[in-house]
Structure 1
Amino acid sequence: MTQDTYPKTEGDARPFASEKFTEATRIPMWDPETDDVLVCRQVRQETHDVKTFLFSGREPRDFRFYPGQHMTFELPVEGMIFRSYTISASAARPYRIEITVKRVPGGPGSNWLHDYMVPGKEINVSGPAGEFTTDATADHKVLFISAGSGITPMMSMTRTACDLSEPSDLHFIHAARSPSDIIFREELALLAAQNPGLKLGFTCDTASAQHSWTGYTGRLNMQMLSLMTPDFMERKIFCCGPASFMDGVRNMLQSTDFAMERYYEESFDFGAETAGTVDDPTAAPEISDQTFFVSFSKTGHVVECGPGITLLSAAREAGLLPMSSCQRGICGTCKSILHSGEVDMQHGGGIRQREIDQGKILICCATPLSDVVVEL
C-alpha cells in the first residue's frame, strides 16, 4: 500500500498507518555502481545438467532489470574469470536474482558454479546490463524461439509477462535434445494453463518410448513452425540459442521473405552481431587519424596501433590472448588497468564509474588517443 491509497481524515494529526508501513519496509535499490556482492540463497536442479542459482544481496535490495538482461559474475577459476549469465527470474519479483546454468563439458565457469556454488556462498558481480528485451504484455503478437539454455532470457520475459498480466498473444517454441532436457517444462505448462494468451510448442532431437513423448521430433523446420505458429509472419520474433540454431532460424525466416527488422536474437557469444539492431551513425565516436604506440606492462610487448583500432586488437596483434567475450563493452571480461595515456572508451555498461576512476578500462572498446601503457 502507498500513502495515496487511503486519504487522511481532515484534522487527524495521528501518524498515518501506511506511512509507518512504508518506512519500515522500504528496501534500498541495488546500485550497480556500489553494490557488487550477491549471496546464494538456494540451488535448484532443473535437469540432469542444468541448475538454477537464486541470489539476493547481503542486505535486502530491490533489483531493477529488464527481462532478458544479464549479470557478469567474477568466478575464482584460474585466478579469476568473468562470465555473463542471463537473469532467468521475473523482473516483477525484484528482491532476488536467478541464473540458470547448463554444465558445459570443460567449461570452467559452469563447472565451478555446479560444483562449488552452495547456499550462503558470496560472489562478486556487476550489472544488470544488456539490450535483449521486450514487453510481452504489450498489444502485439510475439513469438519466442529458443534452444537449450537459450531459454533463459525468454523465461524471464515470460515469467514477467505472466506476473504483470496475462500475455496478450505470446507463442513460445523451444527445441531440446530430448524431453528430459526441456528446462522449465512443468512451470511453462502451468503458466500456459493459467494464461490463455500463452501458447507453447516443443520439439526434441530424439525421444525414447519411456518419455511417452507426443510432441514434435527432429530439428525445428518450416513445417513445424507453420503448424505451431501459423501466423508467424505477423509476429515479432525473438530468438536465442546456440549460434548454429540461430543461423538455421534466421535462414528459415529469410527464405519466407519475413520482415527481418522484426527479428531479434541474442547469443551467449556476446561477440556475435545482434540482428534487428541498427547502429546510430550520430553516436559513433570521433576516430583519430594518428598512430600510437601501445605498451603492455606485464609482457613488455610494444605495438603500433592505427586509427580506430581497439587495445584488444592491438594485444592480439602482439600475439597476446587476453580474456574477452562480448567485444562491445558489455560483459566486463577484458577489464584491465591503464597505467598511462588516454583512451576513448565507448562501453555498454560492463564497467562501473568508480572502476574507471581507479584507472580501469575495457580493452575491447577502448581506442588510444595517445601512447598508452596497459597492464597485460
Structure 2
Amino acid sequence: MSAAASFRHLDELHPWNDRQQMLECISVTAETADVMTFAFRSERPGWFRYLPGQFVTLELPVGPEPVMRTYTLSSSPSRPFSIAVTVKAQNNSIGTRWMFDTLRPGMRLKAFGPLGDFSFVRHPGEKYLFISAGSGVTPMMSMTRWMADSAPLSDVAFVSCARRPDDLLFRAELEVLSGQMPNMALGFIVEGHAPRDGWHGLRGRIDATKLALLSPDFRERTVFCCGPEPFMRGVRAVLEAAGFDMARYHEESFQPACAPDPAELAARAGAAGQEQAGTATITFALSGKDAACLPGQTVLQTARAAGVRIGAACESGLCGTCRVMKISGEVEMNHNGGILDDEIEEGYILACCSRPRGDVQIEA
C-alpha cells in the first residue's frame, strides 16, 4: 500500500488499546554496542496515547513460557503513530538479549500499558532539572522530545552521565535539541575517557560542584532522576546536603518506593486470614478452575499454584502487567500506582497485590 493510500487523519483513528491490540515492530536501531532502540506501531491503524516518561511491559516469547519485561518509552506522544523503547542488554539479560538477537521488523508482541507516574505532567514545575545515567536517559528523552515539539520555551537543565563518551546515549540529538530550545542547558559528565575520545568536558562522578556548574539554580528546579540505584542514591545525597526541597525530587524505579518489612507482611497476612475466616476459593473463569487461596496469599500466588497463567513482571503493584478483571467478590489491593482509578471502577485488580476477602471470581 502506498503512503498516500494509508494516510488517515488522527481523528479518524482509535488509540491503541493493550486489551485488544498487539504491537508490530517496525524498526531496530543500534545506538551503541549494547543498546538498541525498538520502534513499534499498532497492528491495526491507530495512535498511541501516553504521558512522556511512562513505560510499557512487553511479553517476550523467549521459551516455552514467555517473560515480562518493563521498559520506559523513549519516544514522544507528540509523534503518536509509533512508540519506541531504548534498551540495554546486561550480561545476565534474558528478555532483552532475546530482543537483540531475535526481534525484527514485522514481528508482533503483546504489550501492557502505558503506565507510570514519572512525568512532568504528573509533577509540574516552573523549570526542570533532568539528571540521568546510562540508559536512564530514556524517560528524559521522551519528556525533552515532547517539549521540543510542543513547548520549546520550556526551561530545562539536562545533565547526562555515563562511564565513557561513547556511552552518552542520544548525545548528538540532545545537542540539536538544545539549539532549538532557547531555555535548555545541556551538560555531560563521564567517569573516564581515552585520548582518542578527545573529551574536554567534565569527568568523574556527579557531585555538588559539578551540579552547580551545570545548573547554578538547581535548588529552584523540579528534579527528575533516573539511572542505576547507586547513582540515584548519590544524587539524592548531593541534593539533601545542599538543602534541596526533596518534595520536588522524583525518580524512576521499578521497585516499590518503600517495601514492607517481614513483620509488616506477616501482620498483613494475619489480618487477611482473620478477615477471610478460613480458606477462600478463587474461580478462574476462562481457565475453568477453582483453587483454594490460603490466608495471606495473593490472587497471583494462587493462580500459579493452580497452573493458571497470569502475566506478571514487577510483582510489586507498579507495572500493571498482572491486571485482571474481577467478576465477583472482594479483594484487599495494596498497589504502588500500577492501576488507574477508572480501571478499578471497571472491576480490574492487580493479581500480584490483591488478597481475597472471601470467595472471588476472576476472568483468567
* Structure 1, gaps ≥5 residues long: 1-21, 275-285, 317-321
Distance 1:314 1:226 in 2: 52
- Is 1:195 the counterpart of 2:181? The answer is yes
Task: Determine the structure 2 residue equivalent to 1:38.
Answer: 23
Match of 1:368 among 342, 356, 364: 356
* Structure 2, gaps ≥5 residues long: 1-6, 260-270, 305-309
Match of 2:114 among 128, 133, 139: 128
Task: Determine the structure 2 residue equivalent to 1:169.
Answer: 155
TM-score between both structures, scaled by the size of structure 1: 0.76
Q: Map 1:4-83 to 2 at 5 A.
A: 26-32=11-17, 34-78=19-63, 79-83=65-69
Q: Which amino acid aligns with 2:167?
A: D
| DSSP-derived class of the 1:74 partner | strand
Cα distance, 1:195–1:326 mapped onto 2, change above 3 Å: farther
Kept in 2: contact 1:294–1:374 (CA 8 A):
no
| DSSP-derived class of the 2:87 partner | strand
Task: Determine the structure 2 residue equivalent to 1:281.
Answer: none
Tell me the CA shift for residue 372 of structure 1.
Answer: 6.2
- Is 1:331 the counterpart of 2:316? The answer is no
- Is 1:305 the counterpart of 2:295? The answer is yes
Kept in 1: contact 2:313–2:319 (CA 8 A):
no
Q: Which amino acid aligns with 1:69?
A: Q
Give the root-mean-square deviation of aligned CA atoms.
3.8
Aligned length: 332
Deviations for 1:30-66, whole angstroms, at most 9, x for unmatched residues?
2425433111111111111111111111232121111
Cα distance, 1:24–1:91 mapped onto 2, change above 3 Å: closer
Deviations for 1:246-293, whole angstroms, at most 9, x for unmatched residues?
1111111111221111111111x243459xxxxxxxxxxx98951443
Tell me the CA shift for residue 206 of structure 1.
Answer: 1.3
Distance 1:294 1:324 in 2: 25
Kept in 2: contact 1:339–1:373 (CA 8 A):
yes
Distance 2:140 2:85 in 1: 13
Distance 1:112 1:98 in 2: 17
Task: Determine the structure 2 residue equivalent to 1:229.
Answer: 215
| DSSP-derived class of the 1:72 partner | strand
- Is 1:106 the counterpart of 2:96? The answer is no
Q: Larger C-alpha radius of gyration, 1 or 2?
A: 1
Kept in 1: contact 2:154–2:181 (CA 8 A):
no
Cα distance, 1:326–1:239 mapped onto 2, change above 3 Å: farther
- Is 1:149 the counterpart of 2:139? The answer is no
Cα distance, 1:187–1:33 mapped onto 2, change above 3 Å: closer
Q: Which has more helix, going by share of residues? A: 2
Tell me the CA shift for residue 340 of structure 1.
Answer: 9.3
Identity across the alignment (%): 39
- Is 1:214 the counterpart of 2:200? The answer is yes
Deviations for 1:315-372, whole angstroms, at most 9, x for unmatched residues?
99xxxxx96415125331x468989965344664559x99x99x99533221211156
Task: Determine the structure 1 residue equivalent to 2:267.
Answer: none
Tell me the CA shift for residue 190 of structure 1.
Answer: 0.8
Cα distance, 1:370–1:52 mapped onto 2, change above 3 Å: same
Task: Determine the structure 2 residue equivalent to 1:279.
Answer: none
Kept in 2: contact 1:72–1:84 (CA 8 A):
yes
TM-score between both structures, scaled by the size of structure 2: 0.79
Distance 1:303 1:218 in 2: 53
Cα distance, 1:24–1:155 mapped onto 2, change above 3 Å: closer
| DSSP-derived class of the 1:305 partner | coil
Deviations for 1:214-259, whole angstroms, at most 9, x for unmatched residues?
1111111111111111110111001111111111111111112211
Cα distance, 1:38–1:202 mapped onto 2, change above 3 Å: same
Tell me the CA shift for residue 176 of structure 1.
Answer: 0.6
Deviations for 1:181-234, whole angstroms, at most 9, x for unmatched residues?
111011001111222211111111111111101111111111111111111011
